[in-house]
Amino acid sequence: MELFAFAMKMEKDGETFYRELSNKADHEGQMKDHKQDLSFIGKEVDLYQKAKPDTWLENAEWYHLDAY
């Protein structure tokens, strides 16, 4: 369980990092790049969920990403 908690923290830290970079971007191209990185994180989680549906723990935060 510790390993899973660590992995979830890393995932959240990555989202926070790319979201902050997107907000600090100097121009539209950088902002799109960082938002694309966020999109990749979501797709990666989606892929993991489909690959291992019995072991994937649902995270309620994913339903509220648009609010961020």
For 37-63, what is each residue's pLDDT tens digit?
666 666 677 667 667 766 666 655 556
Please give the residue range of the domain that contains residue 28: 2-48
pTM > 0.85: yes or no: no
- Contact in structure between 57 and 4 (CB atoms under 8 Å): yes
- pLDDT at position 55 is 64
Task: Place 6 in a pLDDT band, splitting at 50, 70 and 90.
Answer: confident
- Contact in structure between 25 and 55 (CB atoms under 8 Å): no
Does any domain span residue 60? Answer: no
Does any domain span residue 24? Answer: yes
As a whole number, mean pLDDT of residues 4-17 equals: 78
As a whole number, mean pLDDT of residues 1-16 equals: 77
Nearest to 21 by CA among 7, 9, 33: 33
Does any domain span residue 57? Answer: no
